[in-house]
Structures are given as C-alpha cells and as structure tokens.
Amino acid sequence: MDQRERRTNQEHICNLDIGGGITLQILEDLRDDDDDLEEHVGRFIWPTAVPMMTHLLREMTPLSSSTVVVELGAGCGVLSMGLAARCRHFHKIISTDHDVLWLERNLALNCMLLGEELMFRRLDWGHVAEIEAVRSMVADACHSIDSPNLLIVASDVLYNHKSHQKLASSLHRLSSIDNLPTRIMIGFLSDRDNDETSFLLTARQLFGDGFPKSKSVFVERKGKSKTKEMEMHVIDFVVR
C-alpha cells in the first residue's frame, strides 16, 4: 500500500496497489470509536480484501462473461472494485453492504477504472426486502445471458458470531434463484476466535452437512519492499 495519503480530519485517501498495474484510491475513516463500531467496520480496508481478489481471479480462470457476482459485506468496496478493475469479463458485479455511503463514495473516486458492470445496493443481512431486491437484480441480469451462473463472494465477514444466522440466511436465500448454478466463496485470515466453527454450525442447518470447512490457500502480496506469500482461508461451496 502506498503511504502517500491525503487526510481530511479523520478520513484519508490511500493509494492501494491491487496488481496488474492498477491503483485504487480508497477513502477510509480512521476513527477509533468503540461506541460506533458496527457502523465503522465498513469504513476501512480489511486485510483479506486484496488477497481474496487475487485468489478469485486465479481460481475463476478462465473467466466467464456469463457470471454475475454479488459481494456481501463489501465495506469500502475494495474486493468488488478490484474485480471490476482487474477483469472486465464478469457480466455484472453487485456490491452490497448495510452502509452504502462509503461504498458509493469509493466507487465515485474510482469511476474511471470501473466498468458499467459494477453497481452497488444496500443489503442488511437478514433484511427480507433488501435480499429480495438483490435477488431481482441478479435475476434480471441473468435473463440477458446464456447459461448464467452466480458467484457470491465475501471477505472478513465472520468476526461477529451474532451476525452468523443473518449472514447464513442471506446466503441461502440468494443462492436459491430459479435453479441458478451458484458458488459461494468466503475468505478470511484466521479462525482465532472460532469464527468459522460458529458459522459452519449455522450454515449447515440451512445448506446441509455438505457445507465445507475452509481450506488454506496462498497468494502473493506486495509489501513495502518486497512481495511475500500470504496464507488465507477460503470456504468454497458449490450449491447443488
């Protein structure tokens, strides 16, 4: 990450190298406010966003123009914007979060790098009307392509055990669109607080015992002086 930053009060814009010769400008909020933590979590760059983007671009090769992507818990939009900027093959990318203000501001900052296939939508996990609105967007996008498929992605979303039921139910509803082939991929760095164990118990109540544990994957990540290999965990589930 380039350390050249423009600061405004508690906000700053950093230059984020996402590979492929592309740099995103990311607006973050540097407040350290525990009283407003739930509102603040989507306003800074989480550690798995860029590694997850790198893994997805590698894993999804050859990329398909028949794929519609939905990101849950997009925060400031790094993963969605990275996919849109690095690859123009996806038919549509729908970036969602419960707080879309930071997402909207970052998409505007990087609009020259992003194609028309990227859009954003408010989605608060467990909110029925908002889930149905995203389902309708996916269905509409799929009507115009042959052999469509859906890819639901997320990174760093398992940290709060209290949200697991709403996250799992949102995934389940989004992955049941008119027999649309769907793949779910969730990335995170570690399971130090048994976040994955808790989430799997909830997810398997909806998807069945076949909902898998994560596997370790390794991606290259640029540091200040050199590129190093980084380990992350990815849950990868193809909905039958």
Could you report the per-residue pLDDT of 171-223, keeping only the tens digit for each? Answer: 999 999 988 999 999 999 876 667 899 999 999 999 999 999 999 999 987 76
pLDDT exceeds cutoff 70 at 64: yes
Return the number of other C-beta atoms located less than 10 Å from residue 101's C-beta: 13
Phi first, then psi: give them for residue 239, nearest 5 degrees: -75, 125
DSSP single-letter state for residue 1: -
Return the number of other C-beta atoms located less than 10 Å from residue 150's C-beta: 24
pLDDT exceeds cutoff 50 at 154: yes
> 15 with 1: CB under 8 angstroms?
yes
Q: What predicted TM-score, i.e. pTM, was given to this entire model?
A: 0.91
Least confident of 13-22, 55-64, 112-121: 55-64
- Give the residue-averaged pLDDT of 84-88: 87
Radius of gyration of the chain (CA): 17
Residues facing 94 on adjacent strands: 70, 119
Average pLDDT in the chain: 88
> 24 with 18: CB under 8 angstroms?
yes
